[in-house]
Amino acid sequence: MNIARPYPRHFTLRAWLPAVIALLALSAALTLSLESLSKILPPSLWWHALRSPDTMDIQLIVAHDSWLPRLLISWLCGAILGLAGTIFQQVLHNPLAEPITLGVSAGAQLALTVATLWAPALFGSGAQWIALGGALLTAVVVFGLSWCSGLAPVTVAVAGLVVTLYCGSIGVALQLFYAPYLRGLFIWGGGSLVQQDWSNVTMLASRLAIGGALAFLLLRPMTLFGLDDVNARSLGMSLRRMRLAALALAVVLSAAVVSAVGVIGFVGLAAPALAQMAGARRLSRRLVAAPLCGALILWLTDQAVQQLSGVMGDLIPTGAATALFGAPLMLMLLARMHRAPRLPGGTDDVVRQHPVTASSLQRRFAGIVIVTLAALVLALDFGHGPHGWHLSSLDEFSRVAIWRAPRTLAALAAGVMLAVAGMLMQRVTGNPLASPEVLGVSSGAALGLIAMVIGFDDAGHIARLAASAAGAMAALLAVLWFSVRSRFAPGRVLLAGIAIGALFQAVVAVAIASGGERASILLQWLAGSTYTITPADATIALVLCIALCALTPLVSRWLQILPLGEASARALGVSTRGARFMLLLLIALLTAAATLVVGPLSFVGLTAPHFARLLGARRPLQQLLLAGPIGALTIVVADWLGRALLMPRELPTGLVATLIGAPYLMWLLGRRR
């Protein structure tokens, strides 16, 4: 009798799937590497080139001092980002945390942008130090903003994301004004791995060795971070000190990569998730598996880039194309999983305070609405003309309202829709870093716009809207398809949305990194622009805003019950699959409607719910009532200032919204315990 019964076939396939995918990816990367080297040198000279190249032979020098360092750089950068991403996600209790979260990349890029424009002499030998200084400075700002809260994970994550948006908005504004002088930063911003010597290899190898050793020294306290703060303190751990040490380690590792090769996105986010989905449940295993996954993703991506853009791959930055290979790996694993991965999430508020009374909330709501109406009137009537700032006369108002009114009303509708979508997204997923863009709808809309701009240079306004709508719908359908088997569990939705959004965003990044007129058009749209709004667009936006927002009170009961868990929700008569599907569909419709009109305004959807909580709103309906007017006020004021401050030049609405809203939110975060 056969005592050992075989496992069911589907279990065996799922158990071996990660190993099979890793083996296929490794084989593909190795094959592409040998292919690219063979284009430089015949196989008979490989060993000679790697050991002791002839300084008089240019091919041997290229292989030894450029090709081989670039290969090792792809391994080292991927491994460091995987290690840093694992630390960030463990310490901050959040699957959306990554090296970009604390503003490391945005700070480095802003520092280089400023130095390029006003201190170009520093670039002779100090570009890496400029990037490193900017990265570390933004991290210090994030730690300062969250110090009063004891470096609480949610506060650190939100402060980092706000600082990232703020630095990124300043950088994009400078790029819009000084685009001809910043073409080189497009490539750097995409993460180019092209090497000329071994200096970066030596530097990153030492950082990886030291960082890995320190990570394992911090293994016990980082493991305890998986508990709540009360239990961690009862075990004798100093939360603030250990969080600062672990986050500082991850920041230094991330800054080393940014200063060496530029911004490489997605790897620090995807590598820990891939390691966990492959079976690395314990932190000690993830600290080993995540760097290996990151190295494999970046190695495969870089070798494919070299094949597509020439032997040395100078035309396409590797960092911009990373998601083209990492995202499909995540989606393949997600498609085979019946359960959503158990990922840490943050459900706490950014700050804890005593609940406010209903009358106080009503007064605050009335105050925000009154201020919003006043801003609406000023945006329509008060402007900057040949004779300076003035209120328009009745005759003048009839002429300027034709183009002011559509932009202002569309901005108001987009602000409300993004704020409501952000509040719903954070409630459904239980994650304070979840913005409407996490569903990938905005990236899909951007991809549709790129396809239209590249395929038809003279495409009209209606054609561009149709292409953006088609891209947004494709992204939504893909996310829903990958999430249906897990009953639309938040973990699966987040990972599927991140992977699909990153896949689409990679194409956008490659198009922007190529520079030229198309890059400027895309930058303006991505920054959130109301330049092309017509009366018909404004009417459609208002109708969609009213119709979709009218549905939100109907789902308030689901928003209160779903966080209680699967069993409790069923006991109360709520079908979790149907409720989550309807909520995700509503979020996607709100996001798509706003994105088609004014582009992806990330700041509003992310931070308006936090503003509402800072004002005392705790229940879903309370948050809806406060977040909607806050989003409208932010976008209306931003649109007005963007078109009036620098007239006749204009700044995109999304940039101005971040520039005026982020400092206030940072001030609130820094002063609250």
589 pLDDT band, cuts 50/70/90, is confident
Cα separation, 512 vs 506, whole angstroms: 10
Higher pLDDT, 78 or 166: 78
Tokens encoding 387: 């004779």
Domain extent listing, the chain: 16-42+49-336, 360-671
Q: How far apart are CA 401 and CA 642, in angstroms?
A: 17
Task: Locate 633 and state its tokens.
Answer: 């006020």
Q: Between residues 529 and 617, which one has the greater pLDDT?
A: 617
Amino acid at 218: L
Cα–Cα distance for residue pair 656/80, rounded to 1 Å: 34
Q: Is pLDDT of 305 > 50?
A: yes
> How far apart, in whole angstroms, are the C-alpha atoms of residue 301 and residue 292?
14
Note the pLDDT tens digit of each residue in 596-622. Answer: 777 776 678 888 888 888 888 878 888
Structure tokens given for 178: 């000084």
Residue pLDDT, tens place only, 209-239? 999 999 999 998 888 877 766 666 676 677 7
Residue-wise pLDDT tens digits, 92-140: 877 777 777 778 888 888 888 888 888 777 765 577 788 888 888 998 8
Is residue 446 a contact partner of residue 526, using CB atoms and an 8 Å limit? yes
Beta bridge pairs of residue 310: none
Confidence of residue 627 (pLDDT cuts 50, 70, 90): very high
More confident: 502 or 457: 502
Cis previous bond, 406, omega within 30: no
* Coil, helix or strand at residue 391: strand
Distance CA 275, CA 280 (A): 6
Q: 383 forms bridges with which residues in the sheet?
A: 390
Mean pLDDT of the chain: 79
187 to each of 313, 360, 509, 519, how far by Cα in Å? 12, 51, 10, 12
Angular region, 651: left φ>0, alpha ψ -120 to 50, beta rest: beta
- Which residue's structure tokens are 């101005």? 656
pLDDT in tens, 62-92: 888 888 999 999 999 999 999 999 998 888 8
Q: Do domains 16-42+49-336 and 360-671 have the same CATH topology?
A: yes
Q: What local confidence, expressed as pLDDT, does residue 335 receive?
A: 65
How far is 371 from 41, CA to CA, in rounded Å? 69
Band of pLDDT at residue 352, cut at 50, 70 and 90: very low
34 — alpha (psi -120 to 50), left (phi > 0) or beta? Answer: alpha
Backbone angles phi and psi of 137, in degrees to 5: -65, -45
Whole-angstrom CA distances from 55 to 65, 70, 155, 594 are: 11, 19, 55, 59
What's the CA dihedral at 661, 665, 666, 670 to 10 degrees?
Answer: 160
Query: Residue 635 is encoded by which pair of tokens?
Result: 């976008």
Who's near 615: CB < 8 A, 6+ residues apart?
356, 361, 364, 626
Residue-level pLDDT at 370: 93
Note the Cα 64 to chain centre separation in Å: 36
Q: Quote the radius of gyration of the chain (alpha carbons, Å).
A: 25
- Give CATH for domain 16-42+49-336: 1.10.3470.10
Q: Exposure pattern of 354-393 as b/e (b: 16+ CB <10 Å)?
A: eeeeeeebeebbeebbeebeebbebbbbebeeeeeeeebe
- For residues 503 and 328, what is the distance between their CA atoms, to the nearest angstrom? 8
Contact of 428 with 580, CB cutoff 8 Å = yes
Domain range 360-671, its CATH number among 3.40.50.12780, 1.10.443.10, 1.10.3470.10, 1.10.1740.10: 1.10.3470.10
Give the contacts of 482 (CB within 8 A, at least 6 positions apart). 331, 334, 335, 492, 496, 499, 500
Among residues of the chain, what percentage have pLDDT more than 90? 15
Under DSSP, is residue 320 helix (H, G, I), strand (E, B) or coil?
A: helix
Residue 174, CA atoms < 13 Å, CB-side half-sphere: 21
In which band, very low, low, confident or very high, does the pLDDT at 343 lie, cut at 50, 70 and 90? very low
Residue 341: per-residue pLDDT: 47
CB 345 within 8 A of CB 607: no
Other Cβ atoms closer than 10 A to 323: 29
Are residues 440 and 452 in contact, defined by beta-carbon separation less than 8 angstroms?
no
pLDDT band per the 50, 70, 90 thresholds, residue 505: low
pLDDT in tens, 375-416: 888 888 887 666 667 677 777 777 778 888 898 999 999 999
Q: Which residues pair with 576 in a beta bridge?
A: none
Which residue, among 435, 603, 450, 593, has the nearest Cα to 514 in the 3D structure? 450
Helix ranges, 599-652 (H): 602-614, 620-644
5 vs 250, more confident: 250
pLDDT tens for each residue of 32-54? 999 888 888 888 788 777 776 76
- The band of 289, judged by pLDDT with boundaries at 50, 70 and 90, is very high
